[in-house]
Structure 1
Amino acid sequence: MLLVKWADQGGPPVHAVTVDHNLRAESAREAKFVKDVCARIGVHHDTLVWEGRRSSGNLPDAARRARYSLMADWAEERGIPKVAVAHTQNDQAETFLMRLSREAGVDGLAAMSKTWRHGLTEFCRPVLGVERAELRGYLNAIGQDWIDDPTNEDEIYERTRARNAIDALSDLGLSPRSLATVAQHMSDVRGTLYWYVFLTAREHAQIDRGDVIFPRKQFRTLQRDISSRLLQKILKWISGADYAPRGRSVDFMLEAIRGGTGMTLHGCEMTVSDEALRFTREAQAVEGHRSSAGDIWDGRWKLDGPWPKGAEIAMLGEDGLAECPAWRQSGMPATSLKASPAVWRDGHLVAAPLSGLGNGWTASLLRDQDHFFAALLAH
């Protein structure tokens, strides 16, 4: 409603989308309710139905990931650059309390971002500073009904318990606004820490054809808050994963660095020499990746050349490396090259641009050095 009012006053046109997770019998009826409201106010509406797995794992997290992925694809297909979601100050406070119960640190307690990207789509939270009651008051004032999700009353869900706890804490002055304010303070601290991560990487890190190299001596002098965040950012950037590794897994890698031993984590492999740490893609993580002509391989490589019929992109591997007699002249270690992209046809190696077997082919890194340094400031 607020976005439609903005559009009437000269703002961007509005399109609406509902994701039906298909987890409750009422969900289709609720999506239709939204569609009917949109039709009444002249807004085009689409319903996207999730057909994902329901049987195992963290269902709320899987549903959330699917929701944003579906909306991002929907927006990209329609040329819509931004998608607004209605997270409120209450959601901010509830998230803070939930993470506090898990003994989270600065990153976990920091406020939700007002904007973030999923692929080419920018998501935004325009009412993050508004209490839920204020929005309901606005809807009442204009005579618009709404539907409350019944799972919001089910205490089997952590968020419901957090919501009830905030109500109980109000006598102590712990309102949604005060908790959200603390979360924002923590977000400011997090931003400062990542600024130092950025400055440290700018001074010492090098990008070599998709690998990240960092002087070992300088890494060992970093404060732990900086070194752990730097590790997380490196591994997330190389792997292209939605989330960085956390907790004990990062601690184990820090211990490996101190002990001078290599380690694999998060689809990446770290090797340690006397002089440097080198982070590269783990061959096992890309073993099954296949791409056709013109497609992106492993989310970051694009190969160009004289495509023969039936060719595909796959990792070079140990057998492929053995067919590249000049690979040492590339200056890259075998570990990195085994996980690099190569062109194959009917089980025969056609080209391996990074390993000295060009045959008219080139390999372009889409997530380049500038992308890496920019990623250090995105959180």
Structure 2
Amino acid sequence: MADDDHTPISAQQARQLFADWRDAQAVVLAVSGGPDSLALMWLAARWRKALRRGPQILVITVDHGLRPEAAREARDVKRHAAELGLPHRTLRWRGDKPTTGLPAAARDARYQLLARAARAAGASHILTAHTQDDQAETLLMRMSRGSGIAGLAAMARQTERHGVIIARPLLEVSKARLVATLAKAGLDFVSDPSNVDPRYARPRWRSLIAAFAEEGLDARNLARLSARLARANAALDVVTDGAERFLALRDHDPARPGFEASAFAALPAEVQVRLLLRTIDRVGHEGPAELGKVETLVAEIDRAAAENAKSPSKIALKRTLAGALITLGRDRLRIEPAPPRRGSRR
């Protein structure tokens, strides 16, 4: 949306934001009571009311049991939902909480609870209130961790998780616009103090974006970069699919694991990395391979192939990674399940 960042979202714009889910049987709205999710609920209710036929909407609030105010905030969401004619449920994260990695654990627990409730209600989608600001923060956080192109594409508009689709209709909308929308509607909201708690990574990055914006690196430009990287990532996936089919066609014996070494060597480096990564993940038995380790392995394969061209040997390189055995021979790069480690049980 090209409007000014502080412009309330109109009814027409709300229809555009939620149009993808018009034909769903039912959807769940994840609403905490903060400005983003409260705006999501208000806009979704307005959108649904304008439709002759559309999905059933169920509002769900997850009380993580981490703050005494959370129960009251859930009741406030229930009251707002009732005013909008929407059914509401509060789910609670019970049991012991971890002393480290709390935000990630809470997030995973939240999605599991939401997904279970969505499936029980016959809902195919969970709509969350992730915004353009959240996308910018996610990009910066992943940059700091050394993510590749796929990671820097950040959050997609829709992703599958726990058997349901997580949908993010507000991903191109700034938080400022949502706050302006609530102000126009006369709705009060709560602010979770953990959102500004410097003990957690995301609030620290959030505080830095204001400084970055002084140099033009604002949330809108960061989110635009993320969208461009998502587009590039999708294109590279298509190229990698084609490369995989091409290598398979060159094989006279498709049952042999791996690829023709010379054909693999002729591929662009990024396609080599992606192809090796997906193949290791497919045949390995120790979980997904780390991107950095696969990049190192590709460089080792390139060096070993160059040395093998000068002085041929039966096995130029042998490595194990993520439960896969990678062997470079005279004319073939083999990728197959690695033997079990000594003392391990499978």
Q: CA RMSD in A?
A: 3.2
Tell me if the contact between 1:212 and 1:280 (Cα under 8 Å) persists in the aligned partners. no
Partner SS for 1:60: helix
What CA deviation, in whole Å up to 9, does each residue of 1:36-87 have, x standing for no partner?
3223322222222224663355332222223223222222222211111111
Distance (whole Å) between structure 2 residues aligned to residue 142 and residue 277 of structure 1? 62
Match of 1:4 in 2: 45
Distance (whole Å) between structure 2 residues aligned to residue 255 and residue 61 of structure 1? 33
The alignment status of 1:231 with 2:288, answered yes or no, reads no
Tell me if the contact between 1:272 and 1:278 (Cα under 8 Å) persists in the aligned partners. yes
Tell me if the contact between 2:285 and 2:324 (Cα under 8 Å) persists in the aligned partners. no
Using a 3 Å threshold, how does the CA distance of structure 1 residues 27 and 84 change in structure 2: closer, same or farther?
Answer: same
| Correspondence for 2:267 among 222, 225, 232 | 222
Distance (whole Å) between structure 2 residues aligned to residue 42 and residue 239 of structure 1? 51
The alignment status of 1:202 with 2:245, answered yes or no, reads yes
Match of 2:335 in 1: 278
Report the alpha carbon displacement of residue 115 of structure 1 after superposing the two structures with TM: 0.8
What CA deviation, in whole Å up to 9, does each residue of 1:280-320 have, x standing for no partner?
48767xx87xxxxxxxxxxxxxxxxxxxxxxxxxx7xxxxx
Report the alpha carbon displacement of residue 29 of structure 1 after superposing the two structures with TM: 2.7
Distance (whole Å) between structure 2 residues aligned to residue 246 and residue 204 of structure 1? 24
Give the letter aligned to residue 249 of structure 1: K
With normalisation by structure 2, the TM-score equals: 0.70
Using a 3 Å threshold, how does the CA distance of structure 1 residues 151 and 71 change in structure 2: closer, same or farther?
Answer: same
The alignment status of 1:89 with 2:136, answered yes or no, reads no
Give the letter aligned to residue 86 of structure 1: A
Distance (whole Å) between structure 2 residues aligned to residue 239 and residue 35 of structure 1? 47
Matches within 5 A, 1:1-379: 1-10=42-51, 11-51=54-94, 54-55=97-98, 57-205=100-248, 213-237=258-282, 244-251=288-295, 253-254=297-298, 258=304, 259-265=316-322, 268-272=323-327, 274=329, 275-280=332-337
What CA deviation, in whole Å up to 9, does each residue of 1:98-151 have, x standing for no partner?
233345443332242111111431111101111101111111111111111111
Distance (whole Å) between structure 2 residues aligned to residue 66 and residue 211 of structure 1? 42
- RCO greater where, 1 or 2, for CA within 8 Å and sep 6 or more? 2
Partner SS for 2:318: coil
Using a 3 Å threshold, how does the CA distance of structure 1 residues 69 and 237 change in structure 2: closer, same or farther?
Answer: farther
Match of 1:340 in 2: none
Listed as ranges, the gaps of 5+ residues in structure 1 are 289-314, 316-379
Tell me if the contact between 1:262 and 1:270 (Cα under 8 Å) persists in the aligned partners. yes
Partner SS for 1:261: strand
Using a 3 Å threshold, how does the CA distance of structure 1 residues 100 and 132 change in structure 2: closer, same or farther?
Answer: same
Using a 3 Å threshold, how does the CA distance of structure 1 residues 219 and 62 change in structure 2: closer, same or farther?
Answer: farther
With normalisation by structure 1, the TM-score equals: 0.65
Tell me if the contact between 1:264 and 1:282 (Cα under 8 Å) persists in the aligned partners. no
Tell me if the contact between 1:211 and 1:279 (Cα under 8 Å) persists in the aligned partners. no
Using a 3 Å threshold, how does the CA distance of structure 1 residues 55 and 68 change in structure 2: closer, same or farther?
Answer: closer
Report the alpha carbon displacement of residue 199 of structure 1 after superposing the two structures with TM: 1.1
Distance (whole Å) between structure 1 residues aligned to residue 256 and residue 117 of structure 2? 33
Report the alpha carbon displacement of residue 202 of structure 1 after superposing the two structures with TM: 2.2
Match of 1:346 in 2: none
Distance (whole Å) between structure 2 residues aligned to residue 139 and residue 270 of structure 1? 56
Give the letter aligned to residue 181 of structure 1: R
Listed as ranges, the gaps of 5+ residues in structure 2 are 1-41, 305-315
Match of 1:352 in 2: none
Give the letter aligned to residue 47 of structure 1: T
Which deviates the most, 159-168 or 60-69? 60-69
Tell me if the contact between 2:326 and 2:334 (Cα under 8 Å) persists in the aligned partners. yes
Using a 3 Å threshold, how does the CA distance of structure 1 residues 252 and 13 change in structure 2: closer, same or farther?
Answer: same
Using a 3 Å threshold, how does the CA distance of structure 1 residues 100 and 163 change in structure 2: closer, same or farther?
Answer: same
**Length, aligned pairs only:** 283
Give the letter aligned to residue 272 of structure 1: T
